[in-house]
Amino acid sequence: MDRRSFLKKAGVAGAGAATAAATTLATPAIAQGNMELKMVTTWPKNFPGLGTGAQRVADRITAATEGRITVKLFAAGELVPPFESFDAVSTGTADMYHGAEYYWQGKHKAFNFFTAVPMGLTAPEIDAWVNHMGGQALWDELSAQFNIKPFQAGNTGVQMGGWFAKEINSIEDIKGLKFRMPGLGGEVLRRLGANVVALPGGEIFPALQSGAIDGTEWVGPWNDLAFGFYKVVKFYYWPGFHEPGSSLGVGMNKGVYDKLSKADQQIIADACMAENNYMYSEFVANNGNALETLVNDHGVQLREFPEPVWDAFGAVSEEVVAEVADGDDLGKRVYESYLKARQAAGGWTKISMQAYTIARDRVLGV
């Protein structure tokens, strides 16, 4: 809408002018700070919640600046392959990305903490850490090493444990599985004997169908229904130990960000924060109904991981997460800050959200 009106105005201004004069009209437009920013994503085009969330961030910035900054979205593979989004923004091929920070763990293991780590923070807890308990400053420091300014811009909430072709009755059943799981959760499964891959979203279903993988995690009922994993595998485990509240992020090329006015920087920060809140509520709103569809219409078998399996997940997770601190000083500081937040926020969660929902369920069954 705003872009159209901008183009219309430009058209009117140029209508009475000769071609040469019209060319010179472009100059003041640039001088006034009009620009088009390219946003790449790790998500397939218009994928529910994730792809549409990236589009909403782009649209919010375009609308709030009345088109002075037009953000054009390129879905996974349209400009660069999904996992090359980080490098594209770091080097300036694109101006910003929307994705999950743990996809960049090859750059630095500490990136995992800014999406989710096994046995880590829930959605409200990671927001607390990033906004109020030192997380953002550490994230800024980490991303600045790669010429990137990071923002939270979405959350999936607690993810499901994943899709399995057979039941997981003991930790022995994990051994030898060919499983898709990114981030440090993937490393935990690897140490428990699985063969782990970290495929981008759009490549999971074909891999499952061809037998290249036996099972996968993705997000939760709403997103997993959209990909149709139930057509291949039927056992759906809850909840995921590996992603208890995955925070999604926008990374902006720092050179581009630093050149913006304070007002435009604030608009970008606010657009991301709005989406961080909006997307989480969208997942909460859609997961319950999608789960009913999976179970009632598609014969999906829901299963809870047995306690001994949880014990193994927990022990290995703590080991894997702690190793990030051994990498370098920044990794150590991120790890220590995160753990402190888990202790403080987790203590509150226990007698608030957790205690309340357990009591509500006991009394009312919801």
| C-alpha of 167 from chain center | 28
Beta carbon nearer to Ca ion, 65 or 287: 287
How near is the Cβ of 96 to Ca ion at its closest, in Å?
Answer: 22
User: How far apart are alpha carbons 101 and 183 in whole angstroms?
Assistant: 9
Return the closest-CA partner of residue 151 out of 131, 165, 167, 170. 131
How near is the Cβ of 44 to Ca ion at its closest, in Å?
Answer: 14
How near is the Cβ of 313 to Ca ion at its closest, in Å?
Answer: 15
How near is the Cβ of 93 to Ca ion at its closest, in Å?
Answer: 26
| C-alpha of 185 from chain center | 15
Beta carbon nearer to Ca ion, 90 or 159: 159
Segment 210 to 249, residues that bind Ca ion, using CB under 5 A: 243
Return the closest-CA partner of residue 94 out of 201, 248, 251. 251
In the shown chain, the binding pattern of residues 45 to 84 toward Ca ion, with x for contact by CB under 5 A and - for none, equals ----------------------------------------
Segment 241 to 300, residues that bind Ca ion, using CB under 5 A: 243
Between the two ends of the chain, the Cα-to-Cα distance in Å is 42
Beta carbon nearer to Ca ion, 183 or 331: 183
Return the closest-CA partner of residue 273 out of 255, 250, 253, 243. 250
Beta carbon nearer to Ca ion, 70 or 247: 247
Beta carbon nearer to Ca ion, 147 or 159: 159
How near is the Cβ of 305 to Ca ion at its closest, in Å?
Answer: 16
CB 245 within 8 Å of CB 102: no
Beta carbon nearer to Ca ion, 84 or 224: 224
Helix (DSSP H) and strand (DSSP E) numbers for the chain: 15, 11
3-state secondary structure 225-288: HHHCHHHCCCEEEECCCCCCCCEEEEEEEHHHHHHCCHHHHHHHHHHHHHHHHHHHHHHHHHHH
How near is the Cβ of 236 to Ca ion at its closest, in Å?
Answer: 14
In the shown chain, the binding pattern of residues 97 to 136 toward Ca ion, with x for contact by CB under 5 A and - for none, equals ----------------------------------------
Segment 134 to 173, residues that bind Ca ion, using CB under 5 A: 159
Beta carbon nearer to Ca ion, 60 or 242: 242
How near is the Cβ of 116 to Ca ion at its closest, in Å?
Answer: 8
Encode 127-158: b = buried (16+ Cβ within 10 Å), e = exposed: bbbbeebbbbebbeebbeebbbbbbbbbbbbb
* Residues of the shown chain interacting with Ca ion in the complex, contacts defined by CB under 5 A: 159, 243
